[in-house]
Amino acid sequence: MAKFVYSSSPHVKTPLTTRRIMIEVAIALLPACIVGIVYFGLVALLTLAIATLAAVLSEVVYRLCQKVPFKTILKEFDFTSVVTGLLVGMNMPANIAWYVPLLASIFAIVIVKMVFGGTGRNIVNPAIAGRVFAIISFAGLMTTYPSANVGSLSGGFISSGATPLGALYNPDLTNTLTNLDLFLGVGVPGVIGETCKAALLLGGIYLCARGIINFRWPIVYIAVTGLFTVALNGFDFNYFLPSILSGGLFLGAIFMATDYVTSPTTKLGNYIYFVLLGLLTAGMRQIKGTEMVSYCILFMNLFVPLIDKYIVKRPFGYQKPVKVKEDK
Amino acid sequence: MKTFKGGVHVPDNKHLTEALAIEQMPIVPEYYVALSQHIGAPAQPVVKAGDKVNEGQLIAEAAKGLSANIHSPVCGEVVGIVSRKNAQGVLKEYIHLKTSAEQKSVSMKPLSEQCTAQEIVSRIAEAGIVGLGGAGFPTAVKLQPSEPVDTLIINGAECEPYLNSDNRLMIERSEEVVRGIRLIAKALGVQRIVVGIEANKPEAIARMSGHEGVEVVTLKKKYPQGAEKMLIWATVKRKVPCGQLPMNAGVVVDNIATAYAVYNAVVNGVALYKKVMTVSGRGIATPKNIEVRVGTPLSAIVEYCGGLSQDTVKMIMGGPMMGVAIDNLDIALTKPDGGFLALTNKEADTLLPVNCIKCGRCVDHCPMSLMPLYIDFYTSVGDYQNAVKYGALNCMECGVCAYVCPSRRPIVQSVRLAKFKIKEKK
């Protein structure tokens, strides 16, 4: 008789796998990557490629060092490192020195993910940690942004000192960009992946439509950030659109804060997480006058285990335990 | 359309056997009748090796407490009492019967439908009727609730994919089923009767509708619509308190097949030794709905349905969501078994588990609103107290969490382990 598989129920399962989910996320990142390449030229492609390859290779090398056979690594390859690598690359200024994305990706994969036990075991989002690592280590390089400019394929960058976000909080700097510019990313100085909000939004809509992320959470995060910024600036609603359209808020809200591993699992927990994240982002931006999204997400990531520990769902049919008065 | 919160849409694959009329499975040469095929103590055999028995004769009587009578499925000779593995792989006692050439059957005295509630209950006990929805809880015990009950809910949801046995019973024997339902209601002394049927069985809904005093509720097609607590919520909007029984919410839930067995026992005097089951899956040559005798070895059933195909990877006793995987066909049919499936590589999922990515799908879909990922996590590290905190003891093992899991975590297995370890500690 043939051999049969012998395992616990259920015996049929959803076709969705971790690998499938990660491929979907990578697909959703593509519009922003393509727009980034169009805006910043082939150097952007090079940066993205270095970051992604470094991420994938460092995962493979790490597992080879664990004496995992290469065939098993290939079989179990779940594309999380591709997503991490792409995100690290998207968080780099296009004309960054080649070793920055390389080191950031290696840090993200090896130190943040693999050392903790691989996919699903990391405490903070690897891409965010990679970005923060690069900002701290190469502060000068990471904050000199070229401006997005269609047709800069030849490599001629328009260098801009003030980012729109900096201008928002600093009256000395002038911002000549309109909200539409910010939305489309034309002429906006910034990193590869976060200048064009339209492309990020497109990716976000794709993820929601495919059921990978819940549309609620990015909206909550972005809305709370915008509204709290308005509140902090004397309820001046002129702050709303520029505050949500500048900086890395869209990239962070759609692709990084919604990372499964580092966000809570319950609905209430997610509300708490994303509302706090929004308040923190707006508050920190106000205080520091510069972009704080990645620091805020990194910080809030650390609270996720705590949220999941205290926000426990009540089972169906739960009854409050009747308090029995003790006789004295 | 009425339903519950959570759950998941599973491709139901009912079309394989949906339109097939129930066939009578012919008598086979040998039967193995389990002494424990219900919740509670195993029945005590009243026959010994060499005895001649008739079809329908009592061969094992209910032990004290929770137990049920067992009747001979066939006319023949008792070979002996043997130890065999059941579907779960546990060694249990079976009465081995050899079929004789001529068939003679005995039955109990038919009762009129005007009989008293007490007569119905004692007849149900005498006929060895147990819950045929899967659990096998002795029905006579269930019909004597210790709490006041005002509603009888009949479970015609049959939310397990592939299975059609209840569906076919409702279509082909609706008259008998309804009379059985009325008898159960009479035994309980309740006025309100609700039959919950999933929307993917329009023919069954049509057949079951229009009977006076029997309210048919069309339920949304969603798994696990037929789980007791979900069904009660969907039909009468009552919650069964955690750790308690449906009677604490004033209802009793019985299955369609149970109602049919009650009808047969009361009106025809026939004990429960035959049941309708679905044999399906793409690994079976000719999927069928068959009425088969309890104790029939699976090998005979599979042979009757044309055998297994080469690409069968998994054999399941029951449905694909809650059934038990089996590794051989020597297992004999028991009363609660509603189906046998042979799944091919395309149907059964055989991917190995990887790390949990905390996507939270299990939390979103859990009909009991538990947090299965943490039950799995804490069980895997041996922290059973925390597994209980996240709901291990409230779990009904419907398998929705493991169905939606992209990491293929064996969550249901973890829950069972946690329950076992907690029980062991007590």
SS3 content of chain A, % helix, strand, coil (to 5): 60, 0, 40
* pLDDT at position A174: 59
| Cβ contact, residue pair B360, A78, below 8 Å | no
Q: Largest alpha-carbon pair distance within chain A?
A: 87
CB neighbours of B420 closer than 8 A, spacing ≥ 6? Answer: none
Instruction: Answer yes or no: are the C-beta atoms of B268 and B173 closer than 8 Å.
Output: no
* A5 assigned to some structural domain: no
* A65 assigned to some structural domain: yes
Q: Largest alpha-carbon pair distance within chain B?
A: 62
| Cβ contact, residue pair B363, A265, below 8 Å | yes
Q: Over the stretch B3-32, which tens digit does the pLDDT of each residue have?
A: 999 999 999 899 999 999 999 999 999 999
Q: Where are the alpha helices (DSSP H) in B36-158?
A: 117-126, 139-142
A9/B contact by beta carbon, under 8 A: yes
* A320 assigned to some structural domain: no
Q: Over the stretch B248-290, which tens digit does the pLDDT of each residue have?
A: 999 999 999 999 999 999 999 999 999 999 999 999 999 999 9
pLDDT over 50 (residue A23): yes
Pairing status of strand B288-293 against strand B22-24: parallel
Distance from CA of B194 to the nearest CA of A (A): 21
The distance in angstroms from the start CA to the end CA of chain A is: 71
| Cβ contact, residue pair A315, B368, below 8 Å | yes
Of A11, A78, A312, the CB nearest to B354: A78
pLDDT over 90 (residue A281): yes
Task: Among A164-173, A218-227, A251-260, B64-73, name the one with the lowest average pLDDT.
Answer: A164-173
Environment class of A215 (CB within 10 Å of its CB; exposed 0-12, middle 13-18, buried 19+): middle
Q: What is the pTM of this model?
A: 0.90
Task: Give chain A's mean pLDDT.
Answer: 87
The residue with tokens 């952007």 is: A44
Backbone angles phi, psi at B248, to 5 degrees: -70, -15
| More confident site: A147 or A112 | A112
| Cβ contact, residue pair B351, A17, below 8 Å | yes
Strand segments (E) across B220-293 = 251-255, 274-280, 288-293
Tokens standing for residue B250: 């004033």
pLDDT band at A107 (very low <50, low <70, confident <90, very high): very high
Distance from CA of A216 to the nearest CA of B (A): 14
Region B293-322: what's the mean pLDDT?
Answer: 92
* pLDDT at position A164: 64
Dist CA A208 CA B295 (whole Å)? 51
B385/A contact by beta carbon, under 8 A: no
* A4 assigned to some structural domain: no
pLDDT over 90 (residue A108): yes
pLDDT band at A156 (very low <50, low <70, confident <90, very high): very low
Q: Over the stretch B313-358, which tens digit does the pLDDT of each residue have?
A: 999 999 999 999 998 899 999 999 889 999 998 888 888 999 999 9
ipTM: 0.87
Task: Give chain B's mean pLDDT.
Answer: 92
Q: Which of residues 27-46 of B touch A (CB under 8 A)?
A: none
Q: Over the stretch A295-315, which tens digit does the pLDDT of each residue have?
A: 999 999 999 999 999 999 888
* pLDDT at position A150: 53
DSSP character string of A275-328: HHHHHHHHHHHHHHSS--HHHHHHHHHTTHHHHHHH--PPPTT--PPPPPPPP-
How many Cβ atoms from other residues are within 10 Å of residue B364's Cβ?
A: 17
Minimal CA–CA distance to B42: which of B11, B65, B9, B16?
B65
| Cβ contact, residue pair A12, B405, below 8 Å | no
Tokens standing for residue B370: 């538990």
* A315 assigned to some structural domain: no
* A179 assigned to some structural domain: yes
Region A230-256: what's the mean pLDDT?
Answer: 88
B348/A contact by beta carbon, under 8 A: yes
A310/B contact by beta carbon, under 8 A: no
Tokens standing for residue B325: 């995987």
Structural domain that includes position A115: 18-154+163-309
Environment class of A69 (CB within 10 Å of its CB; exposed 0-12, middle 13-18, buried 19+): exposed
B360/A contact by beta carbon, under 8 A: yes
pLDDT band at A161 (very low <50, low <70, confident <90, very high): very low
| Cβ contact, residue pair B325, A5, below 8 Å | yes
Q: Which domains does chain B have, with CATH numbers?
A: 110-267 (3.40.50.11540), 361-425 (no CATH)
* pLDDT at position A327: 57
Q: Over the stretch B123-159, which tens digit does the pLDDT of each residue have?
A: 999 999 999 987 889 999 999 999 999 999 999 999 9
Tokens standing for residue B297: 């070895």
* pLDDT at position A157: 43
CB neighbours of A325 closer than 8 A, spacing ≥ 6? Answer: none
DSSP character string of A95-153: T--THHHHHHHHIIIIIIIITTTSTTT-SS-HHHHHHHHHHHHTHHHHT-PBBP-TTGG
* A321 assigned to some structural domain: no
* A12 assigned to some structural domain: no
| Cβ contact, residue pair A9, B322, below 8 Å | yes
Residues of B in contact with A316 (CB under 8 A): 5, 229, 233, 239, 242, 367-369, 394
Q: Over the stretch A50-82, which tens digit does the pLDDT of each residue have?
A: 999 999 999 999 999 999 999 999 998 999 999
Region B223-232: what's the mean pLDDT?
Answer: 92
Distance from CA of B268 to the nearest CA of A (A): 38
Instruction: Answer yes or no: are the C-beta atoms of B392 and B422 closer than 8 Å.
Output: yes
What's the number of domains chain A is made of?
1
Q: Write the single-letter amino acid at A213.
A: I
Q: Over the stretch B372-406, which tens digit does the pLDDT of each residue have?
A: 999 999 999 999 999 999 989 999 999 999 999 99
How many Cβ atoms from other residues are within 10 Å of residue B277's Cβ?
A: 26
* pLDDT at position A326: 61
Assign residue A296 the CATH number of its domain: 1.10.3430
pLDDT band at A188 (very low <50, low <70, confident <90, very high): confident
Q: Over the stretch B156-170, which tens digit does the pLDDT of each residue have?
A: 999 999 999 999 999
Q: Which of residues 258-277 of A touch B (CB under 8 A)?
A: 260-261, 263-266
Cβ pairs bridging A and B (under 8 Å): 159
Q: Write the single-letter amino acid at A215.
A: F
CB neighbours of A287 closer than 8 A, spacing ≥ 6? Answer: none
Task: Among A166-170, A280-284, B210-214, name the one with the lowest average pLDDT.
Answer: A166-170
* B328-341 exposure pattern, b = at least 16 Cβ within 10 A, e = fewer: ebebbbbbbbbbbb
| Cβ contact, residue pair A316, B397, below 8 Å | no
Cα B308 to Cα A105, B351, B397, distances in angstroms? 51, 22, 28
